[in-house]
Amino acid sequence: MQINKDKQTPGHTISVLVENRAGVLARISGLFSARGYNIDSLSVGTTDDPQISRMTIVVRGDEQVLEQVCKQLNKLIDVIKVVDYLETPHIERNLALIKVAADKATRSELIQICDIFRAKIVDVSVESIIIEMTGDNEKIGALAKMLRPFGIKEVCQTGVVAMARGAKGISIQEERKPA
Amino acid sequence: MKTKTKNKKEITKEDLGLGKELTGAQILVEALIKEGVSQIFGIPGGSLLPAFDALYGSKVKVVLTRHEQGAAHMADGYARATGKVGVCIATSGPGATNLVTGLATANMDSIPVVAITGQVATHLIGNDAFQEADATGVMRPVTKHNFMVKNIQDLPRVLQEAFYIARTGRPGPVHVDIPVDIQRAKLKFEWPDNINIRSYKPKLVGHPLQIQRAIDLIGKSEKPLLYVGGGAILSGAKDELVALSEKAGIPVVHTLMANGAFPFDHPNYVGIMGMHGRYSSNIATQNCDLLISCGARFDDRVTGSVKTFSRNSKKIHIDVDPSNIGKTVAVDVPVVGDLKTVLAKITENVKSSDHKTWRKQIQEWDNKHPFTIKASKGSLQPQFLIQEVHKLTHGEAVVATGVGQHQMWAMQWYPCKNPRQFLTSGGLGTMGYGFPAALGATFGVTDKPVVCFDGDGSFQMTMTELGTAVQEKKKVIIVVINNYYLGMVRQWQELFYKQRFSGSNLSYFKDENSHKVHPDLKKLDYIPDFIKIAHAYGLKAVRIYKDEEIAGALKKAMASDKTFLIEAMISPGEKVWPMVPAGASLDETIVDMA
Ligand SMILES: Cc1ncc(C[n+]2csc(CCOP(=O)(O)OP(=O)(O)O)c2C)c(N)n1
Ligand SMILES: [Mg+2]
């Protein structure tokens, strides 16, 4: 149950557009594992084109090695596009579900904390609540810090998704026809 | 399914083998024919029975190998020698896993191979069915790409893409796993007209701006050097290399993988570089002011210490694979593109020059420390043996090697005249590669002798393919350089591990002092008797002990119409010189310690 404890090395957030096919995930994760790199978070979902999936990978590591990893990612036959957001202004979002011990005595204080963080309470039982929180890792980390004294029972996160600020979208090599 | 119509258009299509309802196995065979495959190397099994049935009597010849590793090396050797895609086939489970070493070998050296494996029926996949292995999972890290076909509709496209991916861009092995029920399923066969893989568009034409920068750097350089790697052979860039070297007066050094990329008898040819390279090549690399890397990848066996590698030169790096550029050595001008195209563009506009002083300087370095052969004292010098083969074949034979000292001697003493002549496992360093690769080459090469210089250790790893050679009536001249040892390991143990020859002796005898004394080779017991091995396959063989016996043995070998084995007994103490110790700088070439 570790939420964003290690803050020293900035994680690279890498977006990878891939063909939505079996085996692609294994190819991509294989590039990291073959170099002994641990992926901090990985999220996968389809894009507006159901044949293209977008993976967002957060990974820490030596600058040069990560550059090589990005080149290797690009080389994979099923990879359409790779973007490292390290030097691009971008938005990052992660969704966390956090189950916290809560009883009569603590519940109202927890509700207050949630209000401040604009988090939602999505389940209540006699002994616990589940909080849904969306934000970047830092914000989720801050909330978790506040919740820890109450007793965190379980945490589940979607992993970061990212998008560059501004009008420009990730273009794939094949120019998309304007709608 | 579809009733035959008498429509004219359809009849033409069927004539082409299209539009007919075929089984997956038949589609496989049709695809091989369409891709121009004349033979396929491999071994059948339960999950390949439909495929082998379709191959039976077809235009594609089945070459039955004795081990799937041999099949992969044969496909690889055929591909290296001809430039065509080599194809191998293996059954599910153990057949597939036996291919792994061969495909990894091809992958490291960027050789176009397509490997077909059978797989258990789709409904059994993941059930630990008999002879099931996660073949795509195992192959993934050792291939350029791989596919599992779970739907018969995909089969034609996948096979076409497999060949396309294998031979284009930076070539490499592609693996296609075909479950047995897909081989039996039926489909109206259509062969896609063109290939469009949106995520795979190899960049072939270099960026004009970078090309211009390269031209400018070459124009300003006083001591330029072409550093040529295996990519030059893959790209077919020999003529373009020669043209650039001649117009701009640039001397040429090359890696193990590029033996033959530039003709050894050209006046601008300097020689092999790297750990066991020529002194002059390495010193020129260290002293040039411009290093033009052509399809090479700055491998650690070439650069020695990266920190000190050619430290005062500017660097141009031309490579079709962008991930190679800047990987180990910082580069001033990167050019991503096909070498042949890029070199032609550079040569067009490059300044004419002859760099006489620089070339003379390199020649002087070479005169100071050329490759040398020790005077033999009634023994057999491996370097001399290889040189004799070189003379006899004018440097134009197809030469395959195992891995070890004999490989390095072959590299030093068999400089090639043309590309696609020198077949060696450079990247992975796979012992056992030589003989099956040579055998594979014989399926494409008919006008030149095919010679395999093998080590006694390496040959024992794949000599089982003698059966294939005999069955196929193919001729390879096998020269086993027998030093009773895993010689290259022994060399390192002698030089760097206090002569503690741990696990490197292939014989009965204890010979702790073999680095000091010259053993009587005729008295040593050796396992096995290679001559008897050859005889067991109905082949002729001779064992030689002295330089004087070489000519006679080679004469017999050349005259033979079958595979012929020469066993050359040498002293275990023979070493490969010069040597740059691992991790040392190229300046620290040890010429000889004896
Ligand atoms: C499959 C494989 N296993 C181990 C090695 C490590 N290795 C490199 S050279 C060598 C010795 C090769 O012996 P031999 O074939 O007799 O050649 P020699 O060096 O004696 O000429 C060994 C064991 C290797 N390259 N490949
Ligand atoms: Mg040996």
Instruction: Give the pLDDT confidence score for residue A179 in this predicted structure.
Output: 34
Which residues, at least 6 apart from B277, have a Cβ–Cβ distance to it below 8 Å?
B253, B271, B302, B578, B580
Cα-to-centroid distance, B488 and ligand 2 (Å): 7
Expressed in angstroms and rounded, the spacing between residue A12 Cα and the centre of ligand 2 is 48
- Going by the DSSP 8-state scheme, the letter that residue B150 receives in this structure is -
- Label the pairing between strands B173-179 and B145-148: parallel
Q: What is the pLDDT of residue A9?
A: 61
Within 11-50 of A, beta carbons closer than 8 Å to B belong to 18-19, 22-23, 26-27, 30, 34
With an 8 Å Cβ cutoff, are B198 and A18 in contact?
no
Interior/surface letters B462-484, b for 16+ CB within 10 angstroms, e for the rest: bbbbbbbbeebebbbbbbbbbbb
- What are the angstrom distances between the C-alpha of B216 and each of B68, B209, B310, B392, B486? 50, 11, 20, 44, 48
Q: CB atoms < 10 A from the CB of B366, how many?
A: 18
* Measured distance CA(B270)–CA(A66) in Å, rounded: 37
Does B141 contact A at CB distance below 8 Å?
yes
| Residue matched to tokens 């009536």 | B473
For residues A172 and A174, what is the distance between their CA atoms, to the nearest angstrom?
A: 5
Do B480 and B533 form a contact (C-beta atoms < 8 A)? no
Measured CA to CA, the distance from residue B78 to residue B444 in angstroms comes to 6
Q: What is the pLDDT of residue B582?
A: 87
User: Which residues are CB-neighbours of B536 under 8 A, at least 6 positions away?
Assistant: none
Token representation of residue B568 = 């050359």
CATH topology (fold) of B208-368:
Rossmann fold (3.40.50)
CB contact under 8 A, B322 and A74: yes
B405 lines ligand 1 (CB under 6 A): yes
The pTM for the full model equals 0.94
- Cβ within 8 Å, pair A23-B327: no
Whether the CB-CB separation of B211 and B335 falls below 8 Å is answered with yes
Helix (H) or strand (E) holding A106: helix A104-117
Question: How far is Cα B368 from Cα B37, in angstroms, rounded to an integer?
Answer: 49
pLDDT by 10s per residue, chain B, length 594: 444 444 444 455 556 667 789 999 999 999 999 999 999 999 999 999 999 999 999 999 999 999 999 999 999 999 999 999 999 999 999 999 999 999 999 999 999 999 999 999 999 999 999 999 999 999 999 999 999 999 999 999 999 999 999 999 999 999 999 999 999 999 999 998 889 999 999 888 999 999 999 999 999 999 999 999 999 999 999 999 999 999 999 999 999 999 999 999 999 999 999 999 999 999 999 999 999 999 999 999 999 999 999 999 999 999 999 999 988 999 999 999 999 999 999 999 999 999 999 999 999 999 999 999 988 778 899 999 999 999 999 999 999 999 999 999 999 999 999 999 999 999 999 999 999 999 999 999 999 999 999 999 999 999 999 999 999 999 999 999 999 999 999 999 999 999 899 999 998 766 555 555 566 777 777 889 999 999 999 999 999 999 999 999 999 999 999 999 999 999 888 999 999 988 899 998 888 765
Q: Is B404 in the pocket of ligand 1 (CB under 6 A)?
A: yes
Question: Which of B323, B324, B328, B329 best tests the A interface by mutation, with the highest count of A CBs <10 A?
Answer: B323
Ligand 1, atom 4, residue with closest C-alpha: B431
Q: Residue B199 and residue A22: Cβ atoms within 8 Å?
A: no
State the pLDDT at residue B516. Answer: 57
| Same CATH fold assignment for domains B2-188 and B382-577 | yes
In the predicted model, what is the mean pLDDT of chain A?
Answer: 89
Write the DSSP assignment of B433-461 as a string of letters.
-HHHHHHHHHTT--SS-EEEEEEHHHHHH
Q: How far is the CA of B441 from the centre of ligand 1 (A)?
A: 22
ipTM > 0.90 for the complex: no
Entry field: residues in chain B: 594
Dump strand ranges (E) for B303-424: 314-319, 333-336, 398-401, 422-423
Which of the four CATH numbers 1.20.120.430, 3.30.559.10, 3.30.70.100, 3.40.50.970 does domain B2-188 have?
Answer: 3.40.50.970
- CB-CB neighbors (< 8 A) of B200 in chain A: 77
Q: Return the number of CB contacts < 8 Å for A and B.
A: 40
Q: Where do the domains of chain B lie?
A: 2-188, 208-368, 382-577
Which of A62, A71, A176 is the mutation pick for testing B, counting most B CBs within 10 A?
A71
Give B510: exposed, middle or buried? Use CB within 10 Å, 0-12, 13-18, 19+.
Answer: exposed
- At residue A83, does pLDDT exceed 50? yes
Domain B382-577 sits in CATH 3.40.50.970: yes
From CA B48, how far away is CA B55, in angstroms rounded?
A: 10
